[in-house]
Structure 1
């Protein structure tokens, strides 16, 4: 029974977002309930207002739960929900996750609801920066790369028990108003595959997703590939993304290097990254282009301090109008400015 409970815990945790800790509040008769939460006290410092990153307070609070139940020796059920509230002048409430599913052990799991787009598993290779990063899933120009409404997802870890380290997922979504499936889309399909190469610390992954916009026959297609190394306190990650829509192409790549240094109390992790995404090969319009230098200090699994600095390499005259709001002179609002992020995170 314990093995079966673990079998449903693994796929549930894989789609649980960034929560690194949780509290088990119930575990009896094959039923298990855990809660997780986070308070992220965050502030952006810079010399601009109303830009892409903006300036000032970015504090958020998050709460969620994961439930698991044993039905038979080979069948389990699970569900997850999570909400986040942002403070400050532009406060909002967001349902981050809301899905339920069934787990069939080595035969995989199936769930439906608001969940990560299937390509988010690949963007996660480089979405590890203390604060910034995640541009491949943040800008909405790539299909099924962010959290998405109304998606049905099948996942299998270990390829039906035949190949350790070989995982794959297939996803279908039908939501006409969800921008994370490329704006006003009819239907979206996607898949990914990942392989952890023995005990080397190296993993490779790739994915494909496609959708059609409402009232449009042209399909939007996104391809992604990533590789990472995670061993001996060293983390290296690389991501390549490519999307084509409306006869226009979007390309991007991200590189990240981090090294963990253990102390008697806590762990210090310096971070260095380069991120670039652009659209339209002829005009070379830029979506994101910056160097990140940051550091993260984990006092323990519940308390973390971060300092992250974005050295922006964008030029006003090469910015994509599809992503940035503009000033009266046509330049993007604050999008070319550097930004310093300071934060303290308490999570459980």
Structure 2
């Protein structure tokens, strides 16, 4: 890890993937700018009747900057942008801003930032978002921008990673989100607030919990499922002695999209269980196995599906990655779908990630 001194308002474990590859491009008079990015060649194969192949490569670039305002006060900012390679040159290209925020940090108190940043529930969701490919695809990844389960727009975030200087083992986060009403109900939200609290029990073992509550927009409330969208989660990770273990349990209300169909709607309630285990060999080999399950309740009737309860996602992730060096990695990751194909929900709506077994092949270069 290059620079422990370069801490933003997200927990340290969220910064590890980028910090280990970032490069200082400017460092003068208390001003530091780091550049980072990655180039990804990726293919996804679906085991359906057509044996569909999907190009899923992309390039990402970003920077982090900080400026020393006084002995204890630091200003900072981060921006990250991604462009996908799944369209021909004469077609519309898919691009997105993934992060964009700025803030200030005062030593001994904490940091405050505003912009497009990770939602407070991702403090827990990030624990199991470590699989080579198939993770963060349900309650934290089915859609971005709205609410505070994944990357979220218009959020004001306060964090104290040492609980106001009282304990290095205790961290606190508070997040406010402004109203974001778009033409798409799946990327809209009303005003909201969220909290997270983490505690490192011993070196390498950490527990964290989070909660958020948001107003729903007028259009979202037309489904008759209430005025509020809520989520809570609790999780733990062990990261030591070449072993990584993580687990979480979460519940959401009116925040999780219920499938791939355009009229699928939001689940009135979901219960989510995620388990992940990895081992890091000295050679750079890192096998991974995980189980991810999302159960939806009071689902919207669609076609022959009369509504009610059903599994939205249920799969095993089985993969292995290999790091040739800190800048180049390859992996293969297999998605074993466990959804019941005879379920009327699966037939009419389709699971959040579809109904097929899938294989992801990847080569990545980091800088």
Establish whether TM, by shorter chain, passes 0.5: yes
Unaligned runs of 5+ in 2: 255-265, 299-306
1:120-175 per-position Cα deviation (integer Å, ceiling 9, x unaligned)? 11101100001111133112499411111111000001111111121111000113
User: Is 1:173 aligned to 2:177, yes or no?
Assistant: yes
- Displacement over 6 Å in runs of 4+: 178-182
Q: Which residue of 2 aligns with 1:346?
A: 365
Q: Which residue of 1 aligns with 2:273?
A: 253
The two structures have a TM-score, normalised by structure 2, of 0.83
- Contact persistence 1:148–1:181 (CA under 8 A): no
Q: Which residue of 2 aligns with 1:325?
A: none
Judged with a 3 Å threshold, the aligned counterparts in structure 2 of structure 1 residues 23 and 39 are, in CA distance, closer, same or farther, namely same
Matching of residues 38-57 of structure 1 within 5 Å: 38-48=38-48, 55-57=53-55
Q: Distance in 2 between matches of 1:190 and 1:331?
A: 31
User: Is 1:270 aligned to 2:287, yes or no?
Assistant: yes
- Contact persistence 2:147–2:189 (CA under 8 A): no
Judged with a 3 Å threshold, the aligned counterparts in structure 2 of structure 1 residues 74 and 61 are, in CA distance, closer, same or farther, namely same
Match of 1:151 among 147, 150, 155: 155
Once the 2 structures are TM-superposed, how far is the Cα of residue 178 of structure 1 from its aligned partner?
A: 6.5
1:236-263 per-position Cα deviation (integer Å, ceiling 9, x unaligned)? 1001110123892111110000011112
1:205-250 per-position Cα deviation (integer Å, ceiling 9, x unaligned)? 0000011111246222111000111111011100111012389211
Matching of residues 1-348 of structure 1 within 5 Å: 9-11=7-9, 14=12, 18-19=17-18, 20-48=20-48, 55-89=53-87, 91-135=93-137, 136-140=139-143, 143-177=147-181, 183-199=187-203, 201-215=204-218, 216=221, 218-245=227-254, 248-263=268-283, 267-280=284-297, 283-318=308-343, 330=348, 332=350, 335-348=354-367
Q: Distance in 2 between matches of 1:180 and 1:254?
A: 28
1:300-325 per-position Cα deviation (integer Å, ceiling 9, x unaligned)? 2111111100110112454758xxxx
The two structures have a TM-score, normalised by structure 1, of 0.87
1:47-102 per-position Cα deviation (integer Å, ceiling 9, x unaligned)? 33899xx7321000000101100000011100111100001237401001111000
RMSD, aligned CA: 2.8
Unaligned runs of 5+ in 1: 322-328
Judged with a 3 Å threshold, the aligned counterparts in structure 2 of structure 1 residues 284 and 10 are, in CA distance, closer, same or farther, namely same
Q: SS where residue 277 of structure 1 aligns?
A: strand
Q: Distance in 2 between matches of 1:178 and 1:144?
A: 16
1:163-196 per-position Cα deviation (integer Å, ceiling 9, x unaligned)? 1121111000113236999643211211111111
Q: SS where residue 186 of structure 1 aligns?
A: coil
Judged with a 3 Å threshold, the aligned counterparts in structure 2 of structure 1 residues 242 and 306 are, in CA distance, closer, same or farther, namely same
Q: Distance in 2 between matches of 1:7 and 1:60?
A: 30
Q: Distance in 2 between matches of 1:118 and 1:180?
A: 22
- Contact persistence 2:247–2:276 (CA under 8 A): yes
1:21-61 per-position Cα deviation (integer Å, ceiling 9, x unaligned)? 1010111110000000110110011233899xx73210000
Q: SS where residue 361 of structure 2 aligns?
A: strand
